[in-house]
């Protein structure tokens, strides 16, 4: 997938003009037009290319700014669709920020274009779970169910489950890597099982904590990944406190395996028609890591 903005970075986006998109790069801000972006797509030939859009700086914007963002994003989308004909699937970006009627308009007008799917890339600015749910519902309601919806900034298990409830199909997140950088390992499961306990369990364990210094169990006793086979919590605790690079490798192996299993379990529950019930139990069983 090709996108000019890294969804893992929540930096302040540059103010764009009608002619140029301003992209944040390691070498500073670089501006380019739709024709430049089309040449980039032709060169890279990705399976999915996200159309240029007028990215927002914050969730607190005026109605006038929201209207300008929606109008400019639709203009750039039309130029991308007209100027580029190939096997790459073009996804349109839904804009509008906190102005709900503009979010709805953006979704309705984007859905009228010949796009292969839709992207929501401003959810990190929603502020809280209630606002994020409202933004999702407003943007997703006008969309056809047959085309995929991709969301950025929904990475924690509880956020993912809420996204699935609202109709998100694809997620782009660095959540497993973010946990690794903190020394955290995932220890949750979405499999259908026993009722939720009275006290919520943690989604993660912090391998840096002294309680794991002599703990000879694997990160997750139910996990078959290579990190959990032959490596104890005590060993990873030691590696963490001696700043060995291997600890992050093992944590990443485990977290990616656990995260992939989580999504596989979600897909299975959707096929079985048990997703909503399992998601309710999951939300009661687990608490967000602090």
Q: What is the mean pLDDT of each run of 10 residues along the chain (290 residues)?
A: 73 70 78 89 90 78 88 93 80 93 96 96 86 94 96 92 96 93 96 77 95 97 95 98 97 98 97 95 78
Crossing angle (nearest 10°) for helices 157-166 and 245-272: 30
pLDDT digits (tens, 9 = 90+) for 103-159: 999 999 999 999 999 999 888 888 888 999 999 999 999 999 999 999 998 989 999
Per-residue pLDDT, 290 = 46
Per-residue pLDDT, 288 = 61
CB 9 within 8 A of CB 24: yes
Per-residue pLDDT, 32 = 85
Q: Residue 214 contacts by C-beta under 8 Å, 6 or more apart in sequence?
A: 234
Phi-psi region of 43 (alpha: psi -120 to 50; beta: other; left: phi over 0): alpha
**Alpha-carbon gap, residue 60 to 98, rounded angstroms:** 7
Specify the residue for token string 């139990």.
281
Domain spanning 21-173: CATH 1.10.3720.10: no
- Of 203, 174, 175, nearest to 189 by C-alpha is 203
Per-residue DSSP letter, 210:
G
Tell me the DSSP string of 241-261.
Answer: HTT-HHHHHHHHHHHHHHHHH
User: Which segments of the chain belong to CATH 3.20.20.105?
Assistant: 21-173
CB 204 within 8 A of CB 38: no
């Amino acid at each position: 997938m090709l996108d000019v903005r890294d969804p893992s970075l929540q930096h302040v986006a540059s103010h764009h003009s009608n002619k140029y998109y301003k992209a944040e790069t390691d070498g500073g801000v670089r501006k380019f037009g739709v024709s430049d972006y089309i040449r980039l797509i032709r060169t890279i030939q990705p399976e999915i290319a996200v159309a240029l859009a007028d990215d927002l700086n914050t969730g607190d914007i005026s109605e006038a700014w929201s209207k300008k963002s929606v109008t400019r994003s639709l203009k750039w989308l039309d130029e991308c669709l007209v100027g580029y004909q190939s096997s790459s699937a073009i996804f349109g970006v839904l804009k509008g920020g906190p102005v709900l009627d503009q979010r709805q308009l953006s979704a309705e007008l984007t859905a009228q274009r010949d796009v292969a799917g839709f992207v929501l890339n401003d959810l990190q600015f929603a502020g809280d779970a209630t606002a994020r749910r409202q933004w999702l519902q407003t943007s997703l309601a006008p969309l056809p169910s047959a085309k995929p919806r991709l969301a950025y900034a929904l990475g924690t298990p509880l956020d993912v489950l809420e996204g699935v409830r609202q109709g998100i199909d694809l997620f782009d997140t660095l959540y497993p890597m973010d946990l690794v950088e903190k020394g955290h390992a995932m220890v949750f499961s979405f499999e259908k099982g026993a009722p939720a306990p009275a006290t919520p369990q943690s989604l993660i364990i912090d391998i840096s904590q002294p309680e794991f210094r002599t703990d000879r169990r694997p990160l997750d006793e139910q996990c078959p990944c290579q990190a959990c086979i032959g490596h104890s919590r005590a060993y990873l605790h030691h590696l963490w406190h001696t700043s060995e690079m291997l600890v992050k490798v093992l944590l990443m192996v485990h977290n990616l395996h656990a995260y992939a299993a989580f999504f596989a379990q979600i897909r299975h529950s959707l096929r079985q028609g048990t997703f909503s019930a399992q998601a309710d139990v999951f939300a009661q069983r687990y608490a967000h890591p602090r």
